[in-house]
């Protein structure tokens, strides 16, 4: 029986067995045991005079125990019930002089170095339980809405983004001069940067599909917002135009955040307190206007602001930070790509609400986005969140064969590489749309953590592939 189950339905007087890891052992009497099922520890009260002294010395922080005893109401502070220990077994020792997670505050940087042990801390236990809950909410949402889970390939010969920042997959020896036709797949292949193109193929037969899998970017970015390996959620929908795409993205985000607000309250309250404490150490100008739970509830209960790229540029160009040259990247001409500082200004300062920007300049967006009648903009959209900036991005896809063929050629992708993609526009084409959401960005927002490396169990970053 897990500690969570015991605490949810406590049977006073019942004899139970709980198993977990020791968080602390006070006064040779009070064992705080945690099994990862919830934030709360189970207090186990042991009569040290009746126990074998040699066995008691093995009860140390980090050791793994099986404890049997009677569940009783607790008279002490911090818990409603406790276990009066009748017997225990040490399942695994943790020598005090070697175990690095002693009961004290550890920096996040230090915990990244021992990522194999950090799930045992309160912070990372809460983060990874929330990560699971968000993942579950995503699958349940799409299932409810009639989507089919579509497994796009991890190894691919196409570059969906056209950026070229991909990890090559090869069985040829290093330094070989052999032609790629002699490689395992008979051509050059890479780890996928997106499941979108293959997702579109599914949507053009099944109607509505979504992919949820790992993606990879060989981008040398050592920032708090980038990973070389991360998870993407990518729905694709036939017969959906841009407005329907935006409606779905808003509803989807509100559903997933509502789910964790309802089902992960204890973990959120812990992370909310942690977030508030972290804000105190920041300069006043950098502090968040809202607490973590308040921020999540604000997103869930308020409509997202929607405006065109042109309207966004006008607001930014006339903003105080731009006029006073406070932006690192000044807003000058129409057509520039928005940076994180611009996105966060719109969300956090100007509107104080989530923002959706649509109809971007064609020359700063991907080839597969539908060209508007003005010939200058595409039916693209980005969803911007407070503290994060862009959390999701998508578009109405270019469904016209001739236009798409021209755009593929314009970005220098050989037509023979995407013949299968182009064929969907030759055979029964229709309006369709989709978006991509970096799952870790969503977990970052929901947990209030400041670094994306702290919301995935084993982060992959430039120069680091430990564990």
- For residue 458, count other CB atoms closer than 10 A to its CB: 13
Angle at 252 between CA 246 and CA 256, to 5 degrees: 150
| Domain extent for 56 | 3-104
The arithmetic mean of pLDDT across residues 421-430, rounded, is: 97
* pLDDT of 398 higher than 80: yes
Under 8 Å CB-to-CB from 464, ≥6 apart: which residues?
none
Q: Higher-confidence residue: 145 or 158?
A: 145
Determine how β-strand 355-361 pairs with β-strand 305-308: parallel
Per-residue confidence band for 456, with pLDDT thresholds at 50, 70 and 90: very high
CB 272 within 8 Å of CB 293:
yes
For residue 384, what is the domain's CATH number? 3.30.930.10
Instruction: Please tell me whether residues 79 and 188 are part of one structural domain.
Output: no
According to DSSP H, which parts of 302-373 are helical?
A: 309-317, 320-323, 340-344
Q: Residues 321-332: pLDDT tens digits?
A: 999 999 999 999
User: What pLDDT sits at residue 413?
Assistant: 87
Instruction: Please tell me whether residues 193 and 217 are part of one structural domain.
Output: yes
Position 170 in a domain:
yes
Position 269 in a domain:
yes
Instruction: Please tell me whether residues 94 and 123 are part of one structural domain.
Output: no
Position 461 in a domain:
no
Number of domains in the chain: 2
**Encoding tokens for residue 392?**
């999701």
Position 33 in a domain:
yes
**Encoding tokens for residue 55?**
């066995």
Instruction: Please tell me whether residues 8 and 93 are part of one structural domain.
Output: yes
The arithmetic mean of pLDDT across residues 337-346, rounded, is: 94
For residue 86, what is the domain's CATH number? 2.40.50.140
- For residue 339, count other CB atoms closer than 10 A to its CB: 14
Instruction: Please tell me whether residues 153 and 291 are part of one structural domain.
Output: yes
Q: CA 323, CA 320: separation in Å to the nearest integer?
A: 5
Instruction: Please tell me whether residues 211 and 74 are part of one structural domain.
Output: no
CB 29 within 8 Å of CB 46:
yes
Instruction: Please tell me whether residues 185 and 247 are part of one structural domain.
Output: yes
Instruction: Please tell me whether residues 85 and 155 are part of one structural domain.
Output: no
Domain end call among 52, 81, 104: 104
Instruction: Please tell me whether residues 83 and 159 are part of one structural domain.
Output: no
Closest CA to 414 of 139, 150, 147, 157: 157
Q: CA 315, CA 265: separation in Å to the nearest integer?
A: 37
Position 224 in a domain:
yes
User: What pLDDT sits at residue 75?
Assistant: 85
Instruction: Please tell me whether residues 140 and 66 are part of one structural domain.
Output: no
Position 464 in a domain:
no
Q: Residues 280-306: pLDDT tens digits?
A: 988 887 888 899 999 999 999 999 999
The arithmetic mean of pLDDT across residues 369-389, rounded, is: 96
Q: Residues 39-66: pLDDT tens digits?
A: 999 999 999 999 999 999 999 999 999 9
**Encoding tokens for residue 138?**
């995503």
Q: Residues 65-107: pLDDT tens digits?
A: 999 999 999 988 889 999 999 999 999 999 999 999 988 899 9
Instruction: Please tell me whether residues 136 and 81 are part of one structural domain.
Output: no
Residue linked to tokens 């977030």: 275
């Amino acid at each position: 029986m897990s500690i969570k189950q015991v605490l949810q339905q406590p049977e006073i007087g019942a004899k139970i067995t709980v198993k977990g890891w020791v968080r602390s052992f006070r006064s040779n009497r009070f064992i705080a045991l945690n099994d990862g099922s919830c934030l709360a520890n189970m207090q186990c009260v042991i009569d040290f005079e009746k126990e074998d002294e040699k066995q008691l010395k093995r009860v140390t922080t980090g050791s793994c125990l099986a404890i049997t005893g009677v569940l009783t109401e607790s008279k002490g502070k911090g818990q409603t019930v406790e276990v009066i220990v009748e017997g225990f077994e040490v399942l695994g020792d943790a020598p005090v002089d070697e175990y690095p997670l002693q009961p004290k505050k550890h920096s996040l940087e230090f915990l990244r170095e021992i990522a194999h042990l950090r799930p045992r801390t309160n912070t990372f236990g809460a983060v990874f339980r929330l990560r699971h809950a968000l993942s579950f909410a995503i699958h349940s949402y799409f299932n409810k809405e009639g989507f089919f889970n579509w497994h796009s390939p991890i190894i691919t010969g196409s570059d969906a983004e056209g950026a070229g920042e991909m990890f090559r997959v090869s069985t040829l020896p290093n330094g070989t001069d052999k032609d790629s036709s002699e490689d395992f797949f008979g051509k050059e292949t890479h780890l996928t940067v997106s499941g979108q193109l293959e997702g579109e193929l599914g949507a053009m037969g099944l109607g509505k599909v979504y992919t949820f899998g790992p993606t990879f970017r060989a981008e040398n970015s050592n920032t708090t917002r980038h990973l070389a390996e991360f998870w993407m959620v990518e729905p694709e929908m036939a017969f959906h135009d841009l407005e329907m795409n935006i409606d779905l993205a808003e509803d989807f985000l509100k559903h997933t955040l509502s789910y964790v607000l309802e089902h992960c309250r204890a973990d959120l309250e812990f992370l909310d307190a942690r977030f508030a404490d972290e804000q105190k150490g920041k300069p006043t100008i950098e502090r968040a206007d809202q607490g973590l739970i308040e921020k999540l509830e604000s997103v869930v209960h308020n409509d997202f602001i929607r405006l065109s790229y042109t309207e966004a540029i006008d607001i930014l160009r006339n903003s105080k930070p731009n006029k006073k040259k406070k932006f690192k990247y000044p807003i000058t001409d129409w057509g520039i790509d928005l940076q994180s500082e611009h996105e966060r200004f719109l969300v956090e300062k100007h509107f104080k609400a989530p923002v959706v920007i649509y109809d971007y300049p064609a020359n700063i967006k991907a080839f597969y986005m539908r060209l508007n009648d003005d010939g200058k903009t595409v039916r693209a959209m980005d969803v911007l969140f407070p503290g994060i900036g862009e959390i999701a991005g998508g578009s109405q896809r270019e469904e016209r064969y001739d236009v798409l063929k021209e755009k593929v050629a314009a970005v220098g992708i050989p037509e023979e590489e995407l013949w299968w993609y182009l064929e969907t526009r030759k055979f029964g084409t229709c309006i369709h749309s989709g978006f991509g959401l970096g799952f870790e960005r969503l977990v970052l927002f929901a947990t209030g953590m400041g670094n994306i490396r702290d919301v995935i169990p084993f982060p992959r970053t430039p120069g680091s592939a430990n564990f």
